[in-house]
Protein backbone atom coordinates (compact mmCIF):
# COMPACT_ATOMS: atom_id res chain seq x y z
CA UNK A 1 0.00 0.00 0.00
CA UNK A 2 1.22 3.47 -0.83
CA UNK A 3 2.15 5.76 2.03
CA UNK A 4 2.88 9.46 2.28
CA UNK A 5 5.84 11.31 3.75
CA UNK A 6 6.84 14.92 4.24
CA UNK A 7 10.04 16.32 2.84
CA UNK A 8 11.44 19.79 3.34
CA UNK A 9 13.96 21.30 0.98
CA UNK A 10 15.83 23.48 3.43
CA UNK A 11 16.79 27.15 3.00
CA UNK A 12 20.38 26.36 2.00
CA UNK A 13 19.28 24.27 -0.98
CA UNK A 14 16.51 26.68 -2.02
CA UNK A 15 18.89 29.67 -1.84
CA UNK A 16 21.35 28.15 -4.32
CA UNK A 17 18.67 27.00 -6.76
CA UNK A 18 18.59 23.25 -6.12
CA UNK A 19 14.85 22.85 -5.47
CA UNK A 20 13.98 21.51 -8.92
CA UNK A 21 17.01 19.22 -9.04
CA UNK A 22 16.11 17.74 -5.65
CA UNK A 23 12.45 17.24 -6.55
CA UNK A 24 13.48 15.48 -9.76
CA UNK A 25 15.59 13.01 -7.75
CA UNK A 26 12.58 12.08 -5.62
CA UNK A 27 10.45 11.64 -8.74
CA UNK A 28 13.14 9.55 -10.43
CA UNK A 29 13.10 7.24 -7.39
CA UNK A 30 9.42 6.51 -8.05
CA UNK A 31 7.87 8.89 -5.53
CA UNK A 32 5.00 11.14 -6.63
CA UNK A 33 4.69 14.76 -5.51
CA UNK A 34 1.10 15.09 -4.27
CA UNK A 35 1.46 18.46 -2.48
CA UNK A 36 3.99 21.26 -2.81
CA UNK A 37 4.43 24.75 -1.40
CA UNK A 38 7.09 27.30 -0.53
CA UNK A 39 7.13 29.23 2.71
CA UNK A 40 9.32 30.89 5.28
CA UNK A 41 9.14 28.86 8.48
CA UNK A 42 8.24 30.91 11.54
CA UNK A 43 9.78 30.19 14.93
CA UNK A 44 6.36 28.94 16.07
CA UNK A 45 6.11 26.54 13.13
CA UNK A 46 9.66 25.38 13.78
CA UNK A 47 8.81 24.69 17.45
CA UNK A 48 5.82 22.62 16.38
CA UNK A 49 7.76 20.70 13.72
CA UNK A 50 10.88 20.11 15.84
CA UNK A 51 9.13 19.71 19.21
CA UNK A 52 11.13 16.58 20.09
CA UNK A 53 14.35 18.64 19.90
CA UNK A 54 13.30 21.51 22.17
CA UNK A 55 15.91 21.86 24.92
CA UNK A 56 18.67 20.07 23.04
CA UNK A 57 21.97 21.88 22.51
CA UNK A 58 21.50 22.22 18.74
CA UNK A 59 17.86 23.39 18.85
CA UNK A 60 18.52 27.16 18.66
CA UNK A 61 20.93 26.77 15.73
CA UNK A 62 18.43 24.52 13.94
CA UNK A 63 15.58 26.99 14.37
CA UNK A 64 17.78 29.94 13.32
CA UNK A 65 18.74 28.05 10.17
CA UNK A 66 15.26 26.78 9.30
CA UNK A 67 13.75 30.27 9.68
CA UNK A 68 16.54 32.00 7.72
CA UNK A 69 14.85 31.93 4.31
CA UNK A 70 12.31 30.22 2.11
CA UNK A 71 12.01 26.45 2.02
CA UNK A 72 9.96 24.04 -0.06
CA UNK A 73 7.63 21.57 1.63
CA UNK A 74 6.24 18.59 -0.23
CA UNK A 75 4.20 15.49 0.38
CA UNK A 76 5.56 12.49 -1.49
CA UNK A 77 3.58 9.31 -2.07
CA UNK A 78 4.61 5.82 -3.03
CA UNK A 79 5.33 2.32 -1.81
CA UNK A 80 7.40 2.60 1.38
CA UNK A 81 7.62 6.38 0.81
CA UNK A 82 9.09 7.10 4.26
CA UNK A 83 11.99 4.66 3.89
CA UNK A 84 12.52 5.49 0.22
CA UNK A 85 12.72 9.27 0.82
CA UNK A 86 15.18 8.77 3.67
CA UNK A 87 17.35 6.49 1.52
CA UNK A 88 17.29 9.01 -1.33
CA UNK A 89 18.29 11.76 1.14
CA UNK A 90 21.31 9.86 2.46
CA UNK A 91 23.01 10.16 5.84
CA UNK A 92 22.53 13.38 7.84
CA UNK A 93 26.27 14.01 7.62
CA UNK A 94 27.07 14.50 3.93
CA UNK A 95 30.56 13.13 4.53
CA UNK A 96 28.95 9.79 5.40
CA UNK A 97 26.22 9.91 2.72
CA UNK A 98 26.37 7.45 -0.14
CA UNK A 99 27.24 8.65 -3.64
CA UNK A 100 24.23 9.87 -5.60
CA UNK A 101 22.13 10.75 -2.54
CA UNK A 102 20.73 14.26 -2.17
CA UNK A 103 22.93 15.08 0.80
CA UNK A 104 26.08 13.82 -0.92
CA UNK A 105 25.21 15.98 -3.94
CA UNK A 106 23.89 19.15 -2.27
CA UNK A 107 24.59 19.33 1.50
CA UNK A 108 27.26 21.52 3.07
CA UNK A 109 27.40 19.96 6.55
CA UNK A 110 25.22 18.24 9.20
CA UNK A 111 23.10 21.37 9.74
CA UNK A 112 23.04 22.76 6.21
CA UNK A 113 22.12 19.36 4.82
CA UNK A 114 19.64 20.36 2.10
CA UNK A 115 16.63 18.22 3.08
CA UNK A 116 14.47 16.78 5.82
CA UNK A 117 12.27 13.68 5.58
CA UNK A 118 9.87 12.16 8.08
CA UNK A 119 11.41 9.26 10.01
CA UNK A 120 8.30 7.09 10.44
CA UNK A 121 4.78 6.74 9.08
CA UNK A 122 3.40 8.13 12.37
CA UNK A 123 5.69 11.18 12.23
CA UNK A 124 4.91 11.65 8.54
CA UNK A 125 1.22 11.94 9.37
CA UNK A 126 1.97 14.46 12.14
CA UNK A 127 4.41 16.50 10.02
CA UNK A 128 2.18 16.54 6.94
CA UNK A 129 -0.68 17.96 9.04
CA UNK A 130 1.60 20.78 10.22
CA UNK A 131 2.35 21.95 6.69
CA UNK A 132 -0.70 20.93 4.62
CA UNK A 133 -4.47 20.68 4.90
CA UNK A 134 -6.23 17.66 3.38
CA UNK A 135 -7.51 19.94 0.58
CA UNK A 136 -3.91 20.71 -0.47
CA UNK A 137 -2.96 17.05 -0.95
CA UNK A 138 -3.96 15.64 -4.32
CA UNK A 139 -4.76 12.14 -5.48
CA UNK A 140 -2.62 11.92 -8.59
Q: Which is nearest to 107 in space by CA: 21, 33, 10?
A: 10
Q: What percent of the chain has pLDDT over 90?
A: 98
Q: Is 92 annotated to bind ligand?
A: yes
| Tens digit of each residue's pLDDT (9 = 90 or more) over 11-31 | 999 999 999 999 999 999 999
Q: List active site positions.
A: 116
> What are the pLDDT digits (tens) for 38-75?
999 999 999 999 999 999 999 999 999 999 999 999 99
Q: At CB < 8 A and 24+ separation, what contacts does 16-21 make? A: 18/106, 18/114, 19/72, 21/105, 21/106
The annotation status of 19 as a binding-site residue, yes or no, is no
Whole-number pLDDT of residue 140: 87
Domain 2-135 has CATH 3.40.50.300: no
Amino acid sequence: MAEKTLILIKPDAVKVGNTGKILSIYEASGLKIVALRMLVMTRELAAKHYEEHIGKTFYSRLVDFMTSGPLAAAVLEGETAVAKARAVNGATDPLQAEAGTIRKLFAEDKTHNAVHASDSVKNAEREISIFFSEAEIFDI
